Amino acid sequence: MKKKVLNLENLTLLSIVLGIIFGYFFKDLALNLKVIGDIYISLLKMLIIPLVFASIFIAILGLKSSDDLKSIGLKSFIYYLSTTSLAVILGLIVVNIFEPGSNMQLPQDISSDIQPKDVNINDFLLSFIPSNIFYAFANGQILPIIFFAIMFAIATMYIQKDKKETLYNFFDSINDSMMVLAKWIINLTPIGVFFLIAYTIAKNGIEPLINLYSYVLTVLFALFLHAVVTLGAILYFIAKIDPITYFTKIKEALMVSFSTASSSATLPVSIEVAKTNANVDKKVAGFVLPLGATINMDGTALYESIAVMFIANISGVELTFAQQVTIFVTATFASIGAAGIPGAGLIMMTMILESVGLPVEYIALIIAVDRFLDMFRTSINVWGDLIGAKVVDTLVFRKTKI
Ligand code: ASP
């Protein structure tokens, strides 16, 4: 059978290219039409909370036993933590080799209105637990919502069978309806992507990329290595799947993450491609992807370590090995704490700068290229989540085919 050339994926790719051209040549129009891209993002975001809640709930309740939950939970956490740590280590190695910013001058007027983020461990722990679940729903606090969904599902395992089934069917139906909606919205991707990219190019231009090229190239090179070598090897050796084949199956999600710079907004697409194209078990996808979109951010962690080292280089501060270990720890936690929304990584970076005694306002040095790098690091975040889903699927259900 002949494959349709103008399928959704190719159209989306075409939109990215046309969006770049349009944003560059028709700046004002692209800025004025921003609302179309915003509508697309809002439509995706509209699904996040019901989808996260319902998919985690039914994923856990659908498991045969609490042992399965322990197995999926433990394997996911080991995957998230080890890949994020590897990403930061790789970032630190690459930045130490290339030393971007070491021969640049510190500009005179550095100011930024970004407020430092506190490193208080108590607040960090408390931020997982919703004292009012409706407040968490209304304010889109994903981690507390996930915490509640997990606890709610575990408790439901212990109630009467028929009542348990009622709850399961209810949330399973919500989940199915959300996925039907997701499919409709996904059909709008080429339009949304076109206006989002055009706006980004029109707003930021490409000059900052040229001025900060050493920093930008270092981040892109390290992200590429992590995606291809580290994550590619994990997929290949554990799930026995060729990364290129996997890439072609899930690339729609990567294009959406690239254009929206938001792992959370991409979630409906990630779940859809994982289940439909990559044959990931519904329960695994429903658990690993929503959680991963919030806490597993390899791209963000890697970028943060490089950005902090770049800021140190440009300010002529030599960071010791011990300080780089501090960066390793704080960047890992900062990426876990970062929300899956555009620019979240930049805000969390204030925490890392403070931990090694660098001035927070130096963030102003890299703000100009942040949206551009956000598109790439978010794609690596989503690539990491989707590989995680397949790897956990293989480890738990021994299923290697796609
Ligand atoms: N935009 C990223 C994401 O949604 C987070 C970040 O700013 O690094 O995954």
- Three-state secondary structure string covering the chain: CCCCCCCHHHHHHHHHHHHHHHHHHCHHHHHHCHHHHHHHHHHHHHHHHHHHHHHHHHHHHCCCCHHHHHHHHHHHHHHHHHHHHHHHHHHHHHHHHHCCCCCCCCCCCCCCCCCCCCCCHHHHHHCCCCCCHHHHHHCCCHHHHHHHHHHHHHHHHCCCHHHHHHHHHHHHHHHHHHHHHHHHHHCCHHHHHHHHHHHHHHHHCCHHHHHCHHHHHHHHHHHHHHHHHHHHHHHHHHCCCCHHHHHHHHHHHHHHHHHHCCHHHHHHHHHHHHHHCCCCCHHHHHHHHHHHHHHCCHHHHHHHHHHHHHHHHHCCCCCCHHHHHHHHHHHHHHHHHCCCCCCHHHHHHHHHHHHCCCCHHHHHHCHHHHHHHHHHHHHHHHHHHHHHHHHHHHHHHCCCCC
Q: What pLDDT does residue 115 have?
A: 61
Q: Phi then psi for 55, rounded to 5 degrees?
A: -70, -40
Average pLDDT across each block of 10 residues of the chain; the chain has 402 residues. List them in order: 67 91 94 94 92 92 85 94 97 96 73 62 82 94 91 94 96 93 92 93 84 94 98 96 96 95 96 94 93 95 97 91 94 90 91 90 89 96 98 83 68
CATH of 8-397, one of 3.40.47.10, 3.30.43.10, 1.10.3860.10, 3.40.1190.20: 1.10.3860.10
Q: What residues have CB less than 8 Å from 365, skipping those under 6 apart?
A: 107, 110, 310, 311, 314
Q: Which atom of ligand 1 is nearest to the CA of 340?
A: 4
The tokens for 254 are 């990567």
Q: Which atom of ligand 1 is nearest to the CA of 297?
A: 9
Dump pLDDT digits (tens) for 217-275.
Answer: 999 999 999 999 999 999 999 999 999 999 999 999 999 999 999 999 999 999 999 99
Q: Which atom of ligand 1 is nearest to the CA of 293?
A: 9
**Residue written as token pair 């994926």:** 9
Whether ligand 1 lies within 6 angstroms of the CB of 370 is answered as no
CA of 131 to the centre of ligand 1 (A): 26
CA of 288 to the centre of ligand 1 (A): 17
Of residues 146, 142, 154, the one with CA closest to residue 62: 154
CA atoms of 46 and 264, how far apart (whole Å) = 11
Whether ligand 1 lies within 6 angstroms of the CB of 230 is answered as no
CA atoms of 233 and 90, how far apart (whole Å) = 14
Q: What residues have CB less than 8 Å from 178, skipping those under 6 apart?
A: 47, 50, 51, 54, 268
CA atoms of 304 and 329, how far apart (whole Å) = 11
Radius of gyration of the chain (CA): 21
Are 62 and 155 contacting, i.e. CB atoms less than 8 angstroms apart?
no
Whether ligand 1 lies within 6 angstroms of the CB of 379 is answered as no
CA atoms of 68 and 56, how far apart (whole Å) = 14
The tokens for 333 are 């936690």
Name the residue of 226, 266, 291, 377 whose CB sits within 8 Å of the most ligand 1 atoms, as the mutation to test its pocket.
377
Whether ligand 1 lies within 6 angstroms of the CB of 340 is answered as yes
Instruction: Say what the pTM is.
Output: 0.89
Q: What pLDDT does residue 205 have?
A: 82
CA of 283 to the centre of ligand 1 (A): 25
Burial of 298 (0-12, 13-18, 19+ CB in 10 A): buried
Q: What pLDDT does residue 337 have?
A: 85
Q: What pLDDT does residue 1 have?
A: 42
Name the residue of 254, 256, 297 whose CB sits within 8 Å of the most ligand 1 atoms, as the mutation to test its pocket.
297
Q: What pLDDT does residue 2 have?
A: 44
CA of 372 to the centre of ligand 1 (A): 11
Whether ligand 1 lies within 6 angstroms of the CB of 382 is answered as no
Q: What pLDDT does residue 111 have?
A: 62
